[in-house]
Amino acid sequence: MLGNTTLTEFLDGLRTVPQHQPWPRHLLDERAWMDLLHQLAESDWTLLGLWADGGEVHAALRDEEDGAVAVASLSCPERKYPSLSEVRPGAIRLERALRDLWGITPVGLSDPRPWLDHGRWPVSRPLALPRGPAPETPVDYPFLPVEGEALHIIPVGPVHAGVIEPGHFRFTCSGESVVRLEARLGYTHKGVEELMAGKPLAEAAKLAARLSGDSTVAYSLAFARAVEAATASEAPPRAHWLRALMAELERIANHLLDVGGVCNDAAFPVMLAHCTTLREEVLRANAACFGHRLLMDRILPGGVSHDLTREGGATLRKLCATLAQRLNILVDIYDDLPSLQDRTVGTGIVRPALARRFGAGGVVGRASMQGGDARKAVAYPPYDELDFAVPTQPLGDVNARIWQRIEELRESLSLVNQLMDGMPGGPLTRPIPTRGGEGMALVEGFRGEILLWLRLSEAGKVVRCHPRDPSWFQWPLLEAAIENNIVADFPLCNKSFNCSYSGVDL
């Protein structure tokens, strides 16, 4: 019985929250939550997110068999709940973050260390009521112990030599081989959840767009879709198509930079130089068509802020033609360079089973045989009308992640053309009704699937908004990918993951 239950069957009959859209949210009691844990051990439902709101803990799940998504909620008046980490290791960091922010304890979580709270905040449990006092003495952060002879430790960061985000990496090595890598993040914590609370939609949308700058379109889209779900409204068709167009342009720009960046980290800067010029052309086309190079704040709840003119359309078509042609040249260079392939093939392998266990999506997941893509799985408009494939790679090494990006680039270029061909006319926005409700959105950013959940008050303000970056489930895989590789190959692995720091530091 256990293994064959679908998520819908399992949650059927439990109390549901009426205003939660578009997927149901069920209220579980402690016993039902424990049943859920047992069921998770048997089934292969993916954990999409875990967050808290007041005294409640929410877990979003997806049944990969039928694509059903649901949120399970547990009220925890004693500020503790049974941990999901045993059955879904991807939950470990989410639970640690949740404990730091809300002071809600996951019972059974084996890792007692804080995650986001480095002991430098003026308070502790900043989202809980009442808040806790700040620690009086500096907090010591014990890294996981490694035992053995002739091991040495290399601490790297949080300040790096390149212009990248801050994060601390602790390598334990035996000679050049990495025995264990442990990452410590949280250095760019900015209190997004608290900042968003009580804000009107326009202001909260701006905050969402700035959570992780390179994914600004994806986050704006996720926020807009969640608001529209919560208020039972719908953006006009032309807005949907323009949003998808922007999302694909963002994906193209970022994938180009990543392909070049990985090659640069193998000391082949020619590729980065070419990729950067291509990306620059995308950014200039963005600025010409929508008035912002990174398309920040172009997607708003209810629609989009800028229309695409006829000239803009012509610019984008020309851009796609150039990109497709020059991308092929770059791919040939990559493919014909044994010295580069020698670095990428077989380096930093993520086994498919591990990617599955952590529920990792995006480039990292798909390069290890995971087929998840919110554009297909959720099929939000207009992707339900478009023809595209979700490529995957079997090997899960750095090379696979490069090829994954190249193939996704090709799909995105085709999507941009399709979007231009089929773009419907009509208005750009529809007003958002002022009403309360809860909404959730799953949107495919360039890193992977972004989950954004929010609750609106009757006055139409944000009460609670939780954005879950895809990197939450990809960072732990980096630690696994580097094992038994050499230290000198870490930058290559890290760049091929290109996880977000800001997105997970909240």
Partner 1 sequence: MIPLLWGILHTLLVVAAAPWATGLTRRVKARLQGRRGASCWQPYRDLWRLLQKDSVIADSASWLFHITPYVVFVAVWLAATILPTLTTDMIMTPAADLIALVALLGVARFFTALAGLDAGTAFGGLGASREMFIASLGEPAMLMVTFSLSVLAHTTSPAHLVEFVLAGHVGLEVSVGLAMGALLMVALAESGRIPIDNPATHLELTMVHEAMVLEYSGRHLALMEAAAMMRQLLFLSLIICLFLPWGIARPGDAAPWLLVGLAAWIAKVAALSVVLAAYESWIAKMRLFRIADFLGGALLLALLATIFLYVSEAL
**Site residues for partner 1 per CB under 8 A:** 152-156, 160-162, 175-176, 263, 265-270, 273-274, 277, 337, 339-340, 342-343, 486-491
Give the burial class of 292: count Cβ atoms within 10 A of its Cβ; 0-12 exposed, 13-18 middle, 19 or more buried.
Answer: middle
> If you search the block for the tokens 């899960």, which residue do you land on?
396
94 token code pair: 């989410």
Distances from the Cα of 362 to the Cα of 246, 292, 409, angstroms? 18, 25, 13
Packing angle between helix 216-230 and helix 201-209, nearest 10 degrees? 150
Cis peptide before 382 (omega within 30 of 0): yes
- Concatenate the DSSP letters of all residues of 392-454 into one string: --SS-SHHHHHHHHHHHHHHHHHHHHHHHHH---S-SB-PPP---EEEEEEEE-SSSEEEEEE
Q: What is the 3-state secondary structure (H, E, C) of 441-491?
A: EEEECCCCEEEEEEEECCCCEEEEEEEECHHHHCHHHHHHHCCCCEHHHHH
Whichever of 268 and 472 has its CB closer to partner 1, that residue is: 268
45 token code pair: 């439902």
263 token code pair: 């090659």
The per-type count for the chain, helices as H runs and strands as E runs, is 17, 18
Query: What is the 8-class DSSP label of residue 200?
Result: B
- Concatenate the DSSP letters of all residues of 110-135 into one string: S--S-SS--S-SSEESTTSSSPEEPP
CA distance 115 to 109: 13
| Residues 14/20, Cβ–Cβ less than 8 Å | no
Whichever of 403 and 490 has its CB closer to partner 1, that residue is: 490
CA distance 303 to 225: 9
Buried b (16+ CB within 10 A) or exposed e, 19-30: ebbbbbbbebee
Query: What is the 8-class DSSP label of residue 214?
Result: G
What are the φ and ψ backbone dihedral angles of 189, each rounded to 5 degrees?
-65, 130
Tell me how far, at minimum, the Cβ of 174 lies from partner 1, in Å.
Answer: 12
